[in-house]
Structure 1
Amino acid sequence: MPYEVVLFDLDFTLFDSERSERKALSATFADYDIAVNYEILETYREFNSQLWSDFEEKRIKLIDLRTERFRRLCRKLGFQMNPGDLADTYEKNLGNYGALYDGAEELLMSMKGQSKVGLITNGLESVQKSRLHNYDLQKYFDVVLISGECGLSKPDPAIFQMSLDLLHHTNKNSVIMIGDSLSSDVQGATNFGIDSCWFNPHGLDKNPIYNPTFTVQSFADIESLF
């Protein structure tokens, strides 16, 4: 497949963010002598998922999301900690407790030799930059756009246009977006008019309102497209 530009998502695509979240939460609450159990973890994930969906729909700003998830968590579970303090500590831990999926770096190396490679991630600047630095991933990307830094986010077509502008690339027919999120990665690509590859390692059912160009379950499947 003659793609000249390959755009990747980061969380849950290249990064095992589920594992990273669990470790970061455990380290954060350990400061308060609280062991993170299933209830805490799932309550956090419920609120976090809701708020990121709100962010994609521009119903909440990123600066508010980072504390609101902990404000809701504390309210529901009866914790007395300061949500802002929790957010600060958690984000430091999240940046340091990275977990790159096995084979992710090898995939990037392979793509780098064939195409221009970009990263478009809806995330906090400090967290994503720490991850890129700790795993020395910056060298694989010709452009990196982090929503918390550039002020744009998926699925807004503007962030995809920004990536192509920075790459000095105009032919949308030779661009593909690869990511795990139907609502941000796949829909964002659709909104912008480029191909998309839904990374679905867990074999989830596809919501029929989304139409990825390809659906894959492994990095090997991704490589087979090129």
Structure 2
Amino acid sequence: MHGQGIIFDMDNTLLQSRIDFESMKSHTYQFCVEQGLLSPECLLSEHTTSTLIEEAKASGLMTEERLAALWGIAERYETEGMLQAELEPGAKELLQSLKGKYHLVVVTNNATQAAIKALKNYEIQVEFEYVVGREYMEALKPAPGGFQYVLNQYHHLKPSDWLSVGDSWIDGKASQAAGIPFVAYRSDPVQLKSKGVLPLGVISHLAELPQWL
């Protein structure tokens, strides 16, 4: 058994997100280039929205107004995408079977209140002890800040007492950086490998997760 806690990603792990991530990324990139925060030569295919924002912040030209505008772009796409979200197959059944046996937490790059609202819509928010959105992180996944926040809430548990599950390489990268074993859910194995993510296990249905606990 790998321990007493499980950290879930939200989009395309618990909920079948309808967020247009590619358009969100393109819009974010366009804004950053127009504001001089990123070079037009920046290789968009190598980035997610979160990594673009972190690179823009590292430019030294970020202001509170520009950052607020960037988060505004993300929130518009998130709000629209969550209106039509659906539960991933087996999500509710899995969570109900795990509750009381493990500490259950969500770590997402989405805004916290938007994430809580989405989880409440499908009556699964009550299964979680914490929902950790981007407001709790100094830097978004693939940085480990969200996972480290969780670890700080459970001082009696070691990183190895946790397991995380997510669909994206950024989930795996953040998890590994925090020392937490990662299970990849319906992920692209080529992309995981190219980003240096070495999952403990790979699953195609949430019902398979207990075999890694």
TM-score w.r.t. the length of structure 1 is 0.69
For 1:193-204, list aligned pairs within 5 A: 193-200=179-186, 204=189
- Residue identity matched to 2:50: W
Residue of structure 1 aligned with 2:70, choices 37, 43, 65: 65
**Amino acid across the alignment from 1:47:** S
Gaps of 5+ in 2: 28-46, 58-65
Contact kept, 8 Å, 1:196 with 1:214, in 2: the verdict is yes
Structure 1 Cα separation of the partners of residues 179 and 56 of structure 2: 24
Deviations 1:150-200 (A, max 9, x none): 244223233212112223443122111110111x21111111111111112
1:15 corresponds to 2:15: yes
Distance 2:146 2:25 in 1: 26
Contact kept in structure 1, 2:2 and 2:163, CA below 8 Å: no
CA contact 2:183–2:200 (8 Å) conserved in 1: yes
Whether the 8 Å CA contact 1:142–1:167 is kept in 2: the answer is no
Structure 2 counterpart of 1:199, which letter? Y
What is the alpha-carbon root mean square deviation over aligned residues?
Answer: 2.7
- Give the distance between the partners of 2:96 and 2:158, measured in 1 at CA: 23
Return closer, same or farther for 1:91/1:112 CA change in 2, 3 Å cut-off: same
Shift in CA distance, 179/62, structure 1 to aligned 2, threshold 3 Å: farther
Q: Does 1:205 align with 2:190?
A: yes
Letter in 1 for 2:68: I
Match for residue 23 of structure 2? 44
Residue 163 (1) aligns with residue 161 (2):
no
Letter in 2 for 1:97: Q
- 2:70 maps to amino acid: L
How many residues in Structure 1 have an aligned counterpart in Structure 2?
Answer: 183
Q: Whose helix fraction is larger, Structure 1's or Structure 2's?
A: 1
Q: Name the amino acid aligned to 2:51.
A: S
Shift, 1:126, TM fit? 4.1
Percent sequence identity over matched residues? 25
Cα pair 1:200 1:217 within 8 Å, conserved? yes
